[in-house]
Amino acid sequence: MSDAARPERIARLRAALAERIVVLDGAMGTLIQSKHLKAADFGGAELEGCNEHLVFTRPELIRDIHRAYFEAGADVTETDTFGGTPLVLGEYGLASEARAINARAAELAREAAVEAEAGDGRPRWVAGSIGPTTRAISVTGGVAFEELVETFAIQAEGLLVGGVDYLLIETSQDTRNVKAALLGCERAFAVAGERVPVAVSGTIEAMGTMLAGQSVEAFATAVEHAPLLYIGLNCATGPEFMTDHIRSLAAMTRFPVACVPNAGLPDENGRYLETPHMLSRVLRRFCQEGWLNVVGGCCGTTPEHVRELARAVQGIAPRKADPPVRSRLSGVDYLEVGEDVRPVIVGERTNVIGSRKFKELVVAGAWEEASEIARAQVKRGAQVIDVCLANPDREEREDLRRFLEVVVKKVRVPLMIDSTDAACIALALTYCQGKAIINSVNLEDGEERFEKVVPLARQLGAALVVGCIDETGMAVSRERKLAVAERSFELLTGKYGIRPEDIYFDPLVFPAASGDVQYTGSAVETIEGVRLVKQRFPTCRTVLGISNVSFGLPPAGREVLNSVFLYHCTLAGLDVALVNAEKLERYASLPEEERTLAEDLLYHRLPDPVTPFAAHFREARPPRQKVAELPLDERLAERVVEGTREGLLPDLDLALATRTPLEVINGPLMRGMDEVGRLFAANELIVAEVLQSAEVMKAAVTYLEPKMDRASGATRGKVVLATVKGDVHDIGKNLVEIILANNGFRVVNLGIKVPPEQLVQAVKEHRPDILGLSGLLVKSAHQMVTTAEDLSRAGVDVPMLVGGAALSRNFVDRSIAPLLGDGGLRPGRDERARPGQAHRRPAPARRPGGGAAGAAGGAPGRGRCPPGPGGRGPGALARGPGAGTHPGRAGLGAPRAGHHAARRDLALHQSGDALRPPPGREGLARPGAGNAGRDGAGRDRGGQEGAGGEGRGGPAQGLPPPGADAPAGGVPVLPGRLGGKHPRPPRRDGRGGGGALRLPAPAA
């Protein structure tokens, strides 16, 4: 191939991707395996199993495989180089031949492509296959990041020399490996003096994540910095199982999308059983849905699969990418920094400058304990962790390395890399599986810092905190903050190629009460600066280090000022806040007087607002009205609102003297939860505080559960329950579980964030009589529609019960029920329950001094969601005689004793008319008469032990961190697939074998 031809070929490939669905070839490894080669074919016993060496020893066989795929209708063939890095070839003593092997492999594929093109005049392309190597750096370790970069660079060099049209980083199990491969490709381009496009393909295992733990969203976010030819998924499972991952990927990425499945999941003998027809039927549907630009086959697929596939997708228009612009971050978990999650909380305690405890642990080299601080912050609601190891007395880089090695195994949330040293930032980014935020860059020394740091964000993938500082110093006034932001924006998006949604402006916080005159009145400038910057750059985000505002004040006053400042910044549009969420006073609980003192200071309302503020907090604060003095029900609600367990259990006992446990839950406790929701929507509580309230609610339910009536004999039927994908709310679902279990149902609780394919599997495994879905977010209502579609397509014919705050009867009837077959949502005897009984639960009486949204001086509370018509309708089971402790509510009542077949007994119930947010609520009803007796009705923890179920097992159980269904902080390490891609025959000497990742023993 002449050099001049390659750019032209690449241009044609790009054009083809926009015009039609491009077809990749099928498996290389399994096809080689099917030839039953002998040791001699590989070049001797020492090389047996080294598929890549066949390009020297059996070139005609490899060329024939390419030919066969082209002849079957493939547009692209992949080189026989899956294990072609020196790292993998080294296991056969072939490391030094890596360049030559890759070059030869590319030549063979090119020869076949040229031949095929000459035959029928259709263009053909060659993808240089780059496998994941035998080490996944986050999982197996045993390799340094730089070593990976170098090994991938050598492979890419060979592939370029041999004439590939693009490089395909495939079967990716660990995004740190992918990042190393992307850097390796860049290194190879520099050597070759020529670039080709790069595509990335990840592998989502049957458990729903990559081997190193990331979901498809977290993975796509982690590589979105690279200008990819396409992004896709390959290997692991058959196509059906990939449905949700591909749909999610297609919904979010700006790149073309590929789906390259195995011919099904291999059976116990390693055979792939999906026929060409089965595979192509599913992929055709994906194309018709508008999800794909590229299709192909992985392990187990043959030229026959490709032939049918090419035919099946012919004429279908490719996906047109039009994803919404979103600010995305990821660690192992994915985080979208959008309007509905404001303010995202960044834990600031893993910072040697801000936390003495952390600093001391670092000095002592107590890395485990130091990283426990990060974990504790996540557990208490931090959604990002700030990491700063810049102790001037120590070697920052080394400390950072030691700390990151431990912390990335403990926390799943994205990291904020807080350093002024570019080398430290670069190092830190190599430890992040996902997309971190760099804190920070600014124009203090002109563009110097942009020049040093911004390229790192572009090479390794990160968002940027951009401080409002320029050559003249830190911007104090709102106008200067905006001016610096405008200049930074122009430079970053224009000259440096940063996307607006990856810019997090920091309008800067100054001590409002330090006595330094230059900062007098600076707090209101920051608040208004946030507002101006957000108005000017709505696609960008804003971030503030909150605690600085109160520097120099008495400790009690600091936490109050921080809290009031955060509240006003959030109203002004703040997206991300660095705070110590554990210490923050709850804004909602502050006495009016303290709010006013704080607001006077922040808004600089008096000639001297500092003195009265400091005096108030220097003296002993006047006691607030004691919760203990409130009437019993208000007390219970208040403990939920305050997030405190103090006195909770004795109060529950008191309440039980006159009411059933369910009445206590549906009454004061739910009123407390509703008030939490209201305050949350009004920005008066932050997510960390809501978590504390949720823990109190859970503790109360745990305490009350054993005291509930139970039906005898768990024979009414089996229910599989789950909170839908993307949603972590589980209190309601767990309550439903208790009610059902107490009424004679066996419940399999799959946990939170359960994707459709896991539900399909659970239905197959558990064969339930009812499938119960819970979801509280508006997007969860839509997720239920998607889930119902997938269930119906998978032939699941189980009645479905749905519930949660954002659902309405109307939505369910119109959008979900029609998707299910006859066995689906059916009106049952509970049709008697009136639809549309919207009910708004009154908020508990506020304490004197406990202000409402929009308190003095503040703007009116800005809800996270537009006010709905009021009223909400959680799903209800068949409404028993005693249903509804609150008049006008369809209750989750007990099925009547004597009704046996769950399918007949239960039906879905929703009320209300529109898809809308809370706050009205339907209640739980007490078990119907005749259900007394305690038999400890069976409840299964997940049925997928260790994977999906968040479990309520046992009293005072911990809360899963937001976004994590796995045990807090831990990154799951799961067993690898047997065989891997392109499996190799066993080696006689038992060594090596390559191809599959070597993994530690499955975690217990």
Interface residues toward ligand B12, by CB under 6 A? 340-341, 673-674, 676-677, 680-681, 687, 690-691, 694, 726-733, 735-736, 772-774, 776-778, 801-806, 864-865, 874-877, 892, 917-919, 922-924, 959, 962
CB of 787 to ligand B12, least distance (A): 12
Among the options 727, 769, 790, 905, which is catalytic? 727
Position of tokens 């503790």?
A: 699
Chain center to CA of 834: 38
Reported as half-sphere exposure (CB side, CA atoms, 13 A), residue 473 has a value of: 3
The structure tokens listed for 818 are: 């029609």
For residue 544, list its beta bridge partners. Answer: 577
Q: Which is nearer to ligand B12, 470 or 675 (CB)?
A: 675
Longest dimension (CA), the chain: 92
Would you say 175 and 136 are in contact if contact means Cβ atoms under 8 Å apart? no
Smallest separation (angstroms) from ligand B12 to the CB of 754: 12
Q: From the CB of 677, what's the least distance to ligand B12, in Å?
A: 2
Pairwise CA distance, residues 319 & 250, whole Å: 8
CB of 802 to ligand B12, least distance (A): 6
Least distance from ligand B12 to the Cβ atom of residue 913, Å: 17
CB 928 within 8 A of CB 897: yes
Phi, psi of 829 (to 5 degrees): -65, -20
Omega before 371 within 30 of 0, i.e. cis: no
What CA–CA distance (Å, rounded) separates 988 from 44? 11
Strand partners, 76: 24, 125
Q: Is-catalytic flag, 729? A: yes
Could you tell me the smallest distance in angstroms from the CB atom of residue 948 to ligand B12? 15
Which residue, 32 or 686, has its beta carbon nearer to ligand B12?
686
Rank residues 63 and 698 by Cβ distance to ligand B12 and give the closer one.
698
Of 555 and 887, nearer to ligand B12 (C-beta) is 887
Closest contact distance (angstroms) between CB of 437 and ligand B12 is 17
Q: With respect to ligand B12, which residue has the nearer C-beta, 88 or 771? A: 771
Alpha-carbon gap, residue 659 to 645, rounded angstroms: 20
Q: Is 522 a catalytic residue?
A: no
8 A C-beta contact, residue 306 and residue 65: no
* Per annotation, catalytic residue among 66, 225, 729, 982: 729
Is 208 or 521 the residue whose CB approaches ligand B12 more closely? 208
**Among 573, 541, 358, 558, CA closest to 463:** 541
Closest distance of CB 579 from ligand B12, Å: 13
Who's near 268: CB < 8 A, 6+ residues apart? none
Q: Rounded to the nearest 5°, which phi and psi values hold at 579?
A: -145, 165
Are 760 and 810 spatial neighbours (Cβ–Cβ below 8 Å)?
no
> Which CB atom, from 108 or from 877, has the smaller least distance to ligand B12?
877
Whose tokens are 């080398």? That residue is 423
Nearer to ligand B12 among residue 912 and residue 976 (C-beta): 912
C-alpha 826, offset from chain centre: 34
780 belongs to the catalytic site: yes
Q: Characterize the bridge pairing of strands 469-470 and 473-474.
A: antiparallel
Shortest distance (Å) from residue 628 CB to ligand B12: 24
Show the beta-strand stretches assigned E in 47-173.
76-78, 125-130, 166-172
- Backbone phi and psi for residue 951, each to the nearest 5 degrees, phi listed first: 65, 140
Please count the other Cβ atoms lying within 10 Å of the Cβ belonging to residue 864. Answer: 15
* Gap between the Cα atoms of 464 and 453, Å rounded: 9
Half-sphere exposure of 702 (CA within 13 A, CB side): 18
Sequence length of the chain is 1004
| Cα distance between residue 784 and residue 816, in whole Å | 7
Query: At its nearest, how many Å lie between ligand B12 and the CB of residue 635?
Result: 18
- Whole-number Å distance between alpha carbons of 557 and 580: 14
Name the minimum Å distance from CB 807 to ligand B12: 8
Rounded distance, CA 23 to CA 258, Å? 9
Q: What b/e readout covers 379-394, taking b as 16+ CB neighbours within 10 angstroms?
A: bbbbbbbbbbbbeeee
Which DSSP letter does residue 795 get?
T
Tokens of 212: 């190193």
Residue with Cβ nearer ligand B12 (93 or 823): 823
Least gap, CB of 8 to ligand B12 (angstroms): 47
Active-site residue, selected from the candidate residues 129, 248, 330, 780: 780
Is it true that the peptide bond before 343 is cis, omega within 30 degrees of 0?
Answer: yes
3-state secondary structure 680-701: HHCCCCCHHHHHHHHHHHHHHH
DSSP-derived secondary structure for 346-391: EE--SBTTT-HHHHHHHHTT-HHHHHHHHHHHHHTT-SEEEEB---
68 versus 825: smaller Cβ distance to ligand B12: 825
Nearest to residue 475, comparing CAs of 526, 431, 424?
526
Nearer residue to ligand B12 within complex by CB, 602 or 890? 890
User: How does 741-759 read in b/e, with b if 16+ C-beta sit within 10 Å?
Assistant: bbbbbbbbbbbbbbbbbbb
Nearer to ligand B12, 48 or 727 (CB): 727
* Identity of the residue, 53 or 729, whose beta carbon is nearer to ligand B12 in the bound complex: 729
Q: Which residues are catalytic?
A: 727, 729, 780
